[in-house]
């Protein structure tokens, strides 16, 4: 199977490479040096090296734009719609401490020299820190004996909202990471053609998953907001670091203070910034002109906020999978053992035991559900 996939990919890349290397007619070679849809009478004409490049790398407009940039030609005739019709490049400006350049070039440098290396390092540091934590502490939990009686932790609706959001997030995170870091990490391995196709497919997936993420995030926010409201127990939980280094977990209600931080910082604050800037990039917000400058600012905000969001949710995904015993089972089946509830959310368990919260809120029996409604055994 593996060798089949490898040979399929190899065959695809060879055939695409052959298609790329096929000789171009001289006329189309000249045209492909300029971008489709642009006619720039005052812009420099493609020279011999441009024409040569157009033959070997059709569609690569870099030489054309470099000469537009160098000659400072900003205006030409374009048949593209939009507020900046006729503008080939942004005006030349000089930012404090930098050379005379276009805003586009300044944006490119902020992206490539700040956001990519520092953002990438932050993600790698997060993953390494979690790996270190895992190898030193292992999976948390499992100290309280299970009773076999189950309590409903998440209703069907809560789980459906959560997983819609999580799937959309995963598609966005993977495609976003490839768009941001793939040129440096994957292109040298895959080659330009295969990487180009992959990025194009993932960029399209990103544009579609974005609105799904926005809607499901809103549903997740309203579904879980009430149980994430802060209370006095959260302060104790935070001051004691959740009891991580004390051997006993600090009692919490349905969600602990760590989960609440992820909720308010990740779902609410960063979620809002990421979705708003993403909708600008998708040109889905009404009433905006969508000038190049607007898009550059939206991109930088989007990139920084998504990196921070990924860092938070890498921690969340860790805790929801290998970091804590049976947490994933709760979100998968909706049910947790009484022992689990008592160990990780003792105040919530006490409220259920006291009858203040029903042990089952949705209809539809699953194994052990009936037992869950009975008072829990004392340990």
State the residues that interact with ligand HEM by CB under 6 A.
Answer: 153, 162, 165-166, 169-170, 217, 220, 224, 228, 255, 259, 262-263, 267, 313, 316-317, 320-321, 327-328, 330-331
Q: How far is the CB of 379 from ligand HEM (least distance, A)?
A: 20
Q: Are 272 and 241 in contact (CB under 8 A)?
A: no
Nearest residue (beta carbon) to ligand HEM: 320
Q: Which is nearer to ligand HEM, 90 or 165 (CB)?
A: 165
Q: How far is the CB of 373 from ligand HEM (least distance, A)?
A: 20
Q: Which is nearer to ligand HEM, 180 or 262 (CB)?
A: 262
Q: Which is nearer to ligand HEM, 29 or 376 (CB)?
A: 376
* Contacts of residue 318, Cβ cutoff 8 Å, sequence gap at least 6: 130, 134
Q: Which is nearer to ligand HEM, 109 or 139 (CB)?
A: 139
Q: Which is nearer to ligand HEM, 281 or 326 (CB)?
A: 326
Q: Which is nearer to ligand HEM, 107 or 213 (CB)?
A: 213
Q: How far is the CB of 165 from ligand HEM (least distance, A)?
A: 5
Helix (H), strand (E) at residue 140: none
**DSSP letter string, 205-228:** HHHHHHHHHHHHHHHHHHHHTGGG
Q: How far is the CB of 316 from ligand HEM (least distance, A)?
A: 6
Q: Taking phi first (over 0 means left), then psi (-120 to 50 degrees means alpha), and beta for anything else, what does residue 80 get? A: beta
* Contacts of residue 364, Cβ cutoff 8 Å, sequence gap at least 6: 156
Separation of alpha carbons 379 and 377, rounded Å: 6
Q: Which is nearer to ligand HEM, 288 or 312 (CB)?
A: 312
Q: How far is the CB of 264 from ligand HEM (least distance, A)?
A: 9
Q: Which is nearer to ligand HEM, 46 or 271 (CB)?
A: 271
Q: How far is the CB of 5 from ligand HEM (least distance, A)?
A: 25
Residues 276-281: contacts with CB under 8 Å, at least 24 apart:
277/301, 277/302, 277/305, 278/210, 278/214, 278/302, 279/210, 279/211, 279/214
Decide: residue 264, CB within 10 A, 0-12 exposed, 13-18 middle, 19+ buried: middle
Q: How far is the CB of 126 from ligand HEM (least distance, A)?
A: 15
Q: Are 158 and 223 in contact (CB under 8 A)?
A: yes
Which 3 state secondary structure label does DSSP give 146? coil
Q: Phi then psi for 335, rounded to 5 degrees?
A: -110, 145
Q: How far is the CB of 92 from ligand HEM (least distance, A)?
A: 41
Q: What angle, 0 to 180 degrees and rounded to 10, lies between the N-to-C axes of helices 48-56 and 62-71?
A: 150
């Amino acid at each position: 199977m593996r060798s089949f996939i490898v040979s399929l990919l190899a065959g695809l890349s060879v055939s695409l490479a052959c298609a790329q290397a096929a000789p171009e007619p001289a006329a189309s070679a000249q045209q492909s040096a300029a971008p489709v849809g642009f006619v720039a009478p005052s812009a420099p004409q493609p020279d011999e090296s441009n024409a040569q490049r157009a033959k070997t790398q059709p569609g690569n407009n870099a030489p054309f734009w470099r000469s537009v940039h160098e000659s400072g030609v900003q205006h030409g005739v374009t048949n593209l719609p939009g507020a900046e019709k006729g503008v080939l490049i942004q005006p030349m400006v000089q930012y404090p401490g930098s050379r005379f350049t276009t805003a586009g070039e300044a944006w490119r440098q902020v992206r490539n020299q700040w956001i990519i290396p520092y953002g990438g390092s932050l993600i790698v540091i997060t993953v390494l820190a979690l790996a270190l934590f895992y190898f030193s502490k292992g999976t948390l939990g499992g100290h309280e004996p299970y009773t076999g009686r189950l309590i409903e932790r998440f209703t069907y609706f809560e789980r459906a909202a959560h997983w819609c959001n999580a799937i959309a997030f995963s598609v966005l995170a993977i495609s976003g990471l490839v768009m941001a870091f793939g040129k440096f990490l994957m292109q040298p391995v895959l080659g330009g053609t295969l990487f180009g196709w992959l990025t194009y497919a993932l960029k399209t997936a990103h544009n579609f998953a974005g609105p799904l993420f926005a809607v499901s995030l809103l549903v997740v926010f309203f579904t879980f907001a009430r149980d994430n409201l802060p209370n006095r127990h959260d302060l104790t939980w935070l001051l004691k670091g959740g009891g991580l280094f004390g051997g006993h977990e600090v009692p919490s209600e349905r969600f602990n203070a760590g989960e609440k931080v992820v909720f308010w910082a990740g779902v609410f604050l960063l979620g809002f910034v990421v979705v708003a800037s993403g909708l600008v990039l998708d040109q889905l917000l009404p009433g905006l002109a969508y000038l190049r400058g607007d898009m550059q600012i939206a991109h930088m905000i989007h990139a920084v906020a998504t990196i921070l969001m990924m860092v938070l949710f890498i921690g969340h995904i860790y805790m929801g999978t290998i970091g804590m015993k049976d947490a994933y089972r709760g979100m998968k089946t909706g049910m947790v053992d009484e022992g689990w509830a008592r160990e990780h959310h003792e105040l919530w368990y006490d409220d259920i035991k006291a009858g203040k919260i029903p042990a089952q809120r949705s209809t539809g029996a699953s194994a052990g559900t009936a037992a869950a409604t009975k008072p829990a055994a004392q340990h």
